Amino acid sequence: MDLKGKIAVVTGGTRDIGKAISLKLAKEGAKVVVNYYNNEANAKKTLDEIRAISGEAIIVKGDMTQKADVDHLVSEAIKAFGGTIDILVNNAGGLVARKSIAEMDEAFFNKVIALNLNSTFLVSQAILPHMKSGASIINIASQAGRDGGGGGSLAYATSKGAVMTFTRGLAKEVGPKNIRVNALCPGMIATTFHDTFTTGDVRKKVAGATPLRREGTAEEIANTVACLASDETTFITGANIDINGGLAFS
């Protein structure tokens, strides 16, 4: 995919899937604005890796659930690379913790919703005025948004299901401007997310039940993001694309 001359913003872009996306977009020629939450060491390492492949990028710290931080991210992107943003990848998010409905309080539920859904809304709203015809927004949802997720992921699955609906609705709204909006719904991907929140036994069981008999990789997600960001997929919008090795079908 040729992304030369395009400006991309990637939220949560310095770890796991987000890092793979930042590197892939840079490799394909995009200038990348890489957002991170609080791990400056990871952010600087990502920036060094992009520069090592002759890519161009900046890193911007910020909490994407906070409008002031979102506005700062957009301001830094415009200052660094000009007035137009061509690609937005809403990757910031997370599960936080596995809790049943009986174990969670309202503050926890709202935190997960804000992390996954509100961040997607805030960043999309802030960046859309800087997008022109041909731009592409890619949201990172989850298979959990389709099937309710594993044990203790009620809040997470709810938020990702909402991201999927947000994707469809926004695609209809901005389609007449020739701006595309799609989402990816990853299944079991080999990342620190599952190192933290999923037991080894469960991961082996899921991999064994997957037709391709393995977990996916962050790079496979990044490859699909780059394709959706490119001019090779200009008639795809409003899609929630499964990437799960055939474990589940929409």
Catalytic residue (choose from 37, 156, 166, 193): 156
Extract the tokens encoding 238: 């409003």
Q: 24, 31, 26, 7: which is closest to 136 by C-alpha?
A: 7
Instruction: Give the ranges where the chain is alpha helix by DSSP (H).
Output: 16-27, 40-52, 67-81, 106-113, 119-127, 144-147, 154-174, 192-197, 200-209, 218-229
Long-range Cβ contact pairs of 166-172 (< 8 A, separation 24 or more): 166/117, 166/120, 166/121, 166/139, 167/139, 167/141, 167/238, 167/240, 168/238, 168/240, 170/124, 170/137, 171/237, 171/238, 172/238
Q: Is 156 a catalytic residue?
A: yes
Residue with tokens 């959706």: 228
Rounded Cα gap, residues 84 and 114, in angstroms: 27
Strands 56-61 and 87-90 come out as unpaired
Rounded Cα gap, residues 103 and 192, in angstroms: 24
- State which amino acid sits at residue 246: G
Rounded Cα gap, residues 108 and 164, in angstroms: 21
Positions marked active-site: 156
